[in-house]
Structure formats: C-alpha cells, structure tokens
Structure 1
Amino acid sequence: MCKKVMNRLKTSLTDWGHNDYLGMKKSILYIALCLFSVLQISCEDNREEYLDDYSTILYFRNSGEIEHSIYKTEEETHYAVSIVKAGSDMSATTTVDMKVMDESMLAEYNENQGTRYKMLPSGCYSIKTGLLTFNATEMYKKVDLSFYTEAISVLQDEEQENEYIVPLFLSNSSDSINTEKKYMFIKPEVVTPVVSFEKTGYVMNAFPETGGDHIDLTLPLWLSIENKWSFDCYTEVDESLLEAYNQEQGGNLMLLPPASYIINEDGIVKMTPEGENRLSIKVSREGLSYGNYVLPLLLAGTSFEAIDVDPTKNTCLLGVSYVPDAESLTSIHLVENMISYHPNSICEGSVAELIDGDPGTYFHSDYSVGVALPHWLQFALPSEVSAFRFEYVTRNAGSHVVPHRVSLYGSTDGVEFRRIAVLSSELPYDVGQTYTSPVFVTGEKIKHIRMTVDESPSGSFALAEFRLWAL
C-alpha cells in the first residue's frame, strides 16, 4: 500500500505543471490525503511493535543500591519495597517472584559487577518473599521490609568495613522483567540522632544601662530528626571555654558574675515534641559595670541514651555587653591626620573623602599592591575612651568592594591591640547602604581603634563615609 501511495504522489507532483488550476487543487488535496494515510499507517506499525514488546513489564521502582537510615531511637524500622507493573496493557493480570539472593548468587553478582556486598544476617531483618500476583487494577505492589536496629548496630560496630545489604531480585514471570531494574540492594545504616545548640560560638547581646532591671536570653536546642520523644538535655557553665576563646582570639571577655544570672531549671532543657526546647537565662544588672561579659555554656549530655550530643555544636559563648545608651556617646570630629590605613597606600579616593559628608566620594583600600586581606582603617583618638559606636556608608557603586566581615580592635598605645568584636551577618552587603553599629565597651581605657575588613568579594574594600562616637 505504501508503494502505491508513493507512486501516486510522484505522478501527481509530475502532473502539476500540465493541469489547470482546478486540477492542481485536486492534486494538492490528494497529496494531503496520501500523506495522512502514510502517517497513519506508520503510527499503527509503531503501536503494534510497542504492544508486542512492552504490553506488560515488571521492575523495582527503586532499583540498584538504596541507602536507608535507621535511627537508633527506633527498635524496628520499616522500608516499603515497591514493585511496578507497567506497559501499554494496564489492565493485564500477571505474577512475578520476588526473592532474596542466596550467598552463591550474591557472590556471582559481586564478581560480575565489581561490588563487595555482604549478605545482611537473617536475624537483622524480615521480609515476606515469594509470588506476587497483580490483578487488573493493581499498578504496583508494596512489600514491607523490617530492620531490627539493635542487631544491625552491633553488627556494624563489630564490622565497620563491610557493606551489608538485603539483596532482592525479580524472576519467574510470564511477562517481561526489566533487566536493568530487576535487582535491589537495600543498605541499612544505623544513625544516632544528635542534639545541638542552634547558635554556637560567640553570640553578642547588648544590655543597655537604661530600661528594665533585667534581660531575658534564650538559646534554642535543635534535634537532627523530627522529635517524637520527651527527654532531658543537660547544660552547664564551663569557664574553660571562655579562657580558650580569649587566648585564641586575643580578647579580654569577662566571665558573667554568678550573681548576675539565673539559668532556668538549673540548665536542664526538657525536650518534647510540641515544646519550645530552649534554654532560658535571666540576666540582671546586679554586679555589672560597663564591660563585655560571657556565659560559657556546654551541652553536656541527654537522658536518652539513643540520642547523642553533636560534638561540633555543643558550646556557646553567650555574650552580654553591658553598655551605656547610644545617646550618651559624643561625636568625635575626625580629621585626616587621625586616620591611618593598611596597605599604606591609596589607589582610589582619599581619607579626606571618607569624612567629607558626601556619599558620592569614597576611600578605597589599595588593591594594586597585591596585599591580601585584612585591610584596615585605624583611628587615633584625642583622649581615652571606654565605649564607642560607629557608622559607615558603603560606596554607591560596586558591591564587590562592600565589607562582608569586620573585626574591631582596641589599643592603649597603638601597637598592641585586643579584639573587641566581630561583625558579619548584620552588615549590609549592597551598595549605598548605611550600617549603624551597637555600642561597644572596650574593657579598658583605649586611645586607638582599628577596624579590619577580613572578608570582601574583591579582596579590598571601599567606603563612602565613616563616623565615630565615644564615651
């Protein structure tokens, strides 16, 4: 039939030049009908071929190696093994065997595929295998695979190098089985959930000299999985954390006096599925003078042996900076000879343009000399101060030169500096933005302030304006 259609099509095309307009219209109509017939025949042939090869086919929905986490909090964990019936005849009935490989079959598979799987002992899991029957309306079957947590945990502790799996395969069906999806290797891993502080490292909190007689601080705790249990977490004050931090950072943070705070429930946080799950601390003014204090907290353990403490997020230096009100600080009139900088050269702008009140001009640290960050500005003050705050405006073009991390240092002699604070997430990262700092107390009388830019996208920084207040 296809040959006849093509011959007629060829003849029609040849005759176009010899017929009148009406004849040509008829020929075009005939050609269109021929083309439709060819396309229809082609589609029918492909459909018959598809029906013949894939009328019904079976496979694992998730084939190959499947890693499955088993949490130590559960005695038994379930995994649903899905077997799919697909193909063009969705109403077909069929059967297939699902079985666990034996040792010899697994050894052969390992040899052929270059894997090193090892059979998970039968005492570590249970699954019902055998013949699966699909009726006309079933598109898939689910088979429950149960893992026994304690048995697997003991096995993994003893033999950490082995890749234990439950090896499943499909066979014995009168219909097709997808050869690429006929194997499934479920690899269980026992995971111990961990609890941690939501905030770690040094966390600064300002306590102004006016206002209420206390401030309430909270430190949320976080569990690595959905919490379904009620248990206790134990926190304690660990002074060695503050000592180590001061030594590492070159700081002089002070220990918050015991008379100045009360930790709720003596540091025990009761974790519940619906609870706020946080440590609460009340800090009062008693025993405080201007200064930077820290309550160094350690998350020491839990009452639930199946849940551990995350050793990377189990400490928090909860800062309390007892500071004067911002309004009590006096504006310092900055002039050029009070300001030095590193690198000790300028490639764009000037120090004068940093303090000229014009946000359209700027100072740019020198990027042409190949000196890596940190770059800094240093201010020699006319008299000693015990507290300060500052404000800067980012340049109105080029976000690549906006500071992303800033450290503040204080010095009595301009030679030896102590770190006062580090700023990062609170800084503006866009152009033409104003940043106003909180009040910082220095811990000692200082005459020099250094602001280092530790991070920026370009490796240098630019600022349009800078202002300073001190007490």
Structure 2
Amino acid sequence: MKFKYNIYLIALSVFSVWFVSCDEYRDADELDDQLYLQKSGLMEAKVFNWGTFTYELPVIKSGKGNHSATVRLSVDESVLAAYNEANGSDYKLMPENCYSLKEGLLSFAEEDYRKSFLIDFDPESLTALGTDGLEYVLPFSLVTDNTDIRITGEDKAKILIKPSVYQPYIGFETPDIYRTGSEFSIKTDDDDVLVIYPKVQVNFYNDWEISYDVEVNSAVLDEYNQSLSAGARNYRLLPEGAYTIDRSTCILKQNRDYEYLKITLEEKAFKIDENNYAFGYYALPLKITSVSKYGVDPDADVTIYPVSIQPPVMDKTEWTIEECNSIITDEVENASSMDIPDNLLDNNSNTYWCTRAIEPIEFPYFVTINLQENCSLYRLGFQLPENEELGNIKSGYFEVSEDGENWTKVVDWSRRSNLDDRSMELDFSMHHANYIRFVITDAFEYADPALGKASGAVCQIAEINGWGI
C-alpha cells in the first residue's frame, strides 16, 4: 500500500514540474509589453481645409498586456536635424502657429492596445507657409516614464509629419468621358430600358450626410467635341426624353465616401416612327453644380457618358454575289479565288475584290449582292483592305431593290484621301430590300493619268457590311 502511495507522489511531482515548466515556456514565448508609433519616419499627412483639422497619430501597445503605461509626444528638433543629415534634405521646423497638440499625453491600461495622439493643424497658416518656397515638417519623439515598459527601437519612436493642405471636394470618379458606355441594339419591337450608375465620391472621410445637385450640360459636350482631332467620333446630345435622373440618389450618407447616381435610359426616345430610329452615337454630359458641404472638384465636376443606339449587324452567311461589272479574274488564268467579289462577304479584311487591271473598263463599277430574304435596312458600309496602299476608291453610293430590277439610291459616300475613311458606316431611313448594290463612281488614281476617269482604275474593297432586321 505504501509502495502505491509513493508511486502516486512521484507522479504528482512530475505532473507539477511539467505544468510549471509549460507555464514558464508559455510566458517565455510572449514578449514583454512594448510601445511604438504605428507610423514612423517621414510621413505625408492630408490636411483638409475646413477649419481646424485634427490629425490622429496612433500608438500601439503590444506584448503580454500586464502593464499600464503613460506616454508623451514631444516636439524634438534633434529628430529633424538627424533626418536632414542622413538624407541630405533641408526641411524646416514648423512654426507653432500652424499646430497644437490637442492630445499629447496618453494613458494605457493593461488591456489597451491602441490609442492616438491628436494634433490640430491650422490649414490657413499651413497654406501661408507654402509661399516662401521652403518645406516644413513637425518632428516628434515618443517618450514613456514607465521603466517596466519599453519603446520598440528608435525608428519606431520618431516621426516627421509633413502636412499638405487639400480642399475637401466632391466629384465624379470618371471625369471627362467614359471609355465604355451603353448600347441599344434594335432587334425587336420591345422598348428596352438600361440603367447606368456614374460614381460620385468625396476625397475625405465623410462624417456627414452630403447632398449635391447635378445637371445635363450641353456646353460640356460641345467643348469635348471641339477638342477632338480630325476624324475622331463626335457625340450628339442625348435627347431629353431618353433619360431620367433619379434625384433621390444625389446624396452621400454619413460614413459613405462614394455613391452611385442612378440614371435610366429608354430606347423608345430614339424611335422616329414605327419603322425608323435615330441611330447614332450620343452622350449624356453631366455636371455637378452644387454640394451641401464644402466644394465641387473643378477637375472632376463633369463626366460624359456615351450611349450608342445601333441596328444589329447582319449575318452575311447566306448572302451571295448576284452581278459584278469589273473583276480581275476575267484576265488571270486559274485565279478562281483571288480578288473576286465573293471576298466581300467572307469577313476577312485581308482578302478583297479588285477591279480589272488589264484594259480597265470605264466607271461606274458595281457589285450586286443578293440578301436571300426581304430585310429592313438602316445602314450600309464598306471596309478597305488592311494594306493601306490598297483601296483607291474616292466616291460612290449604295442603292437597294426588292425585285432586282427597280433600284433606289439610299446614301452617297465619299472619301478625303486613300488613308482616310478606310471603314465607313452610312445611315439612312429604313428601306425594305432583297438586294443591295455598291457603286464606285470615282477613284483617286486612274489607269492612264492623261485620260483620267475615262481610262478606269484599279480599286480594292475588302468587305461590304449591312445593318438591319
């Protein structure tokens, strides 16, 4: 019995030693309490010009959490001198009229892990400093009187704050023009509706409820169109009935730095009559005109939202060439697939129809395409080969027919040079058609310059395209 009792005591002793040892190891794995600035070194600080601006400088207490502490933040010119010497800089000590320590002493309880010093900056005085061409900073050191808790390294106890004054603004996230917009593609009789959400934001943390006003401003769009280079796409002003601005969304709620303006776009506004639409490229130019708090960013007060309304591109799979009056394969042996009119329908801009090279015929040249069904056409166009040396077509027109006998001209076309307008899309009022005819009436260069147009010309066209239902 005594033997069993001794065994019990030995086991209890071993367990006690093991328990104490584990507790010691656990304590050894945890660091003693220590303090450090969350930010250190040279720090840029945004100071917003809305009167006194309070800047928060966080201090972190980490470790076991078994000590309280009191820490002070002191302006320290030696920090500034050391930084200038080490970095070859020439920062100056900020004058006292630019700031005040609102909270320069922090007390940490054992359980606290993060508190902040509060520094009040005077934006007006800071702005006046910038007129002398010098750069000013505010150097600080973190100090504690508690010998039981240490500051983590000198680099974590010193900071130089370099404030920059900003105007508190509201503005669009995308100033100028959206590179992608919305598009209506007319395929049915349904009246489609699209909703767009331009993003409006402030450049500061928003502690308030802020409302703003926005208007459609045609002058913004006019200015944009005038700034475009020659040949760039111009936009027409979106018709008034094509959009509805939800004014209830013109607000940023407290703690929200951004919000989305809701605008509904309606297809029916582009409908001219039962069969026709006002196809084209439009834009909605928006301008923020006022805000309930602070100001509107002059560099982000406008945005331009493009809206395209287009007929669908027609599938050319079943189209066939009905007739052509100038074809190079008439004169080239075994050239069954080279430069023939069928290339106009293959969706390949590297292949093309070429007009006759040997003994060219006189203008006009034409090619007739059978659509294989009656279609409602809204737009026709062509594309020249990828090789910019090819093309040579100067002017002409498209005509359409329902029976292949009676033709109606629907649109003329002309090009400024062989390098310009290498792809053209030409709109017209809706026409029903089973056939389309592409006609070339003039070229830039002729087969015989001395004879001019009467000598004919060698021309190349890669694709004929149609838009309709």
Normalised TM-score (structure 1): 0.52
CA positional deviation for 1:292: 1.1
Q: Residues 232-253 of structure 1, C-alpha deviation per residue, up to 9 Å, x if partnerless?
A: 1323322563475375251564
CA positional deviation for 1:231: 1.4
Say if 1:168 and 1:183, in contact at 8 Å, map to a contact too.
yes
2:367 to 379, 382, 389: 382
Say if 1:254 and 1:294, in contact at 8 Å, map to a contact too.
yes
Say if 1:221 and 1:279, in contact at 8 Å, map to a contact too.
no
CA distance in 1, matches of 2:428, 2:222: 15
Structure 2 residue 250 is matched with structure 1 residue 277: no
Say if 1:207 and 1:215, in contact at 8 Å, map to a contact too.
no
CA distance in 1, matches of 2:307, 2:80: 58
Report the residue type matching 2:39 in the other structure.
Answer: N
CA distance in 2, matches of 1:240, 1:297: 6
1:205 to 183, 194, 197: 183
Structure 2 residue 267 is matched with structure 1 residue 294: no
**CA RMSD of superposed structures (Å):** 5.5
CA positional deviation for 1:168: 3.3
Match of 1:342 in 2: none
CA distance in 2, matches of 1:304, 1:446: 59
CA positional deviation for 1:468: 4.3
1:162 to 108, 129, 135: 135
Q: Residues 147-174 of structure 1, C-alpha deviation per residue, up to 9 Å, x if partnerless?
A: 3464466446656752333523336563
Say if 1:411 and 1:418, in contact at 8 Å, map to a contact too.
no
Summarize the Cα distance change of 1:328–1:285 in structure 2 as closer, same or farther, 3 Å threshold: farther
Task: Look up the SS of the partner of 1:205 in the other structure.
Answer: strand
CA positional deviation for 1:230: 2.5
Normalised TM-score (structure 2): 0.52
Q: Residues 323-356 of structure 1, C-alpha deviation per residue, up to 9 Å, x if partnerless?
A: 44556999654899999xxxxxxxxxx989x969
CA positional deviation for 1:272: 3.0
CA positional deviation for 1:82: 0.7
Report percent identity of matched pairs. 14
CA positional deviation for 1:138: 4.6
CA positional deviation for 1:301: 3.2
Say if 1:71 and 1:149, in contact at 8 Å, map to a contact too.
no
Match of 2:94 in 1: 119
Match of 1:189 in 2: 164
1:93-108 equivalences in 2 (<5 Å)? 93=67, 97-103=71-77, 106-107=80-81
2:214 to 206, 213, 234: 234
Summarize the Cα distance change of 1:140–1:328 in structure 2 as closer, same or farther, 3 Å threshold: closer
CA distance in 2, matches of 1:268, 1:139: 43
Say if 1:101 and 1:168, in contact at 8 Å, map to a contact too.
yes
Match of 2:225 in 1: 245
Summarize the Cα distance change of 1:181–1:224 in structure 2 as closer, same or farther, 3 Å threshold: same
CA positional deviation for 1:223: 0.7
CA distance in 1, matches of 2:240, 2:35: 72
Report the residue type matching 2:215 in the other structure.
Answer: T
Q: Residues 424-462 of structure 1, C-alpha deviation per residue, up to 9 Å, x if partnerless?
A: xxxxxxxxxxxxxxxx764799879xxxxxxxxxxxxxx
1:81 to 58, 73, 76: 58
Summarize the Cα distance change of 1:309–1:170 in structure 2 as closer, same or farther, 3 Å threshold: same
CA positional deviation for 1:100: 1.9
Match of 2:155 in 1: 180
CA distance in 2, matches of 1:118, 1:381: 82
Summarize the Cα distance change of 1:333–1:229 in structure 2 as closer, same or farther, 3 Å threshold: farther
CA positional deviation for 1:297: 0.7
CA positional deviation for 1:189: 3.2
CA positional deviation for 1:316: 0.9
Structure having the higher helix fraction is 1
1:456-467 equivalences in 2 (<5 Å)? none
Q: Residues 30-72 of structure 1, C-alpha deviation per residue, up to 9 Å, x if partnerless?
A: xxxxxxxxxxxxxxxxx9xxx9xx9665432332123333445
Summarize the Cα distance change of 1:327–1:108 in structure 2 as closer, same or farther, 3 Å threshold: closer
Report the residue type matching 2:262 in the other structure.
Answer: R
Match of 2:455 in 1: none
2:306 to 302, 315, 318: 318
CA positional deviation for 1:196: 0.9
CA positional deviation for 1:107: 4.6
CA distance in 1, matches of 2:300, 2:73: 43
Say if 1:221 and 1:278, in contact at 8 Å, map to a contact too.
no
Task: Look up the SS of the partner of 2:250 in the other structure.
Answer: strand
CA positional deviation for 1:286: 5.5
2:104 to 129, 134, 139: 129
Report the residue type matching 1:187 in the other structure.
Answer: K
Task: Look up the SS of the partner of 2:221 in the other structure.
Answer: helix
Report the residue type matching 1:303 in the other structure.
Answer: V
Summarize the Cα distance change of 1:73–1:329 in structure 2 as closer, same or farther, 3 Å threshold: farther
Task: Look up the SS of the partner of 1:311 in the other structure.
Answer: coil
CA distance in 1, matches of 2:146, 2:74: 16
Say if 2:79 and 2:139, in contact at 8 Å, map to a contact too.
no
Summarize the Cα distance change of 1:281–1:355 in structure 2 as closer, same or farther, 3 Å threshold: same
**What are the ranges of 5 or more consecutive residues in structure 2 without an aligned counterpart?**
1-24, 328-337, 352-364, 370-376, 383-410, 430-436, 441-461
Task: Look up the SS of the partner of 2:101 in the other structure.
Answer: strand
Summarize the Cα distance change of 1:91–1:250 in structure 2 as closer, same or farther, 3 Å threshold: closer
CA distance in 2, matches of 1:223, 1:114: 39
Structure 2 residue 236 is matched with structure 1 residue 255: yes
1:145-160 equivalences in 2 (<5 Å)? 145-148=118-121, 150-151=123-124, 154-155=127-128, 158=131
Task: Look up the SS of the partner of 1:245 in the other structure.
Answer: helix
CA distance in 1, matches of 2:321, 2:213: 51
Report the residue type matching 1:206 in the other structure.
Answer: F
**What are the ranges of 5 or more consecutive residues in structure 1 without an aligned counterpart?**
1-46, 340-349, 366-379, 391-409, 422-439, 449-464
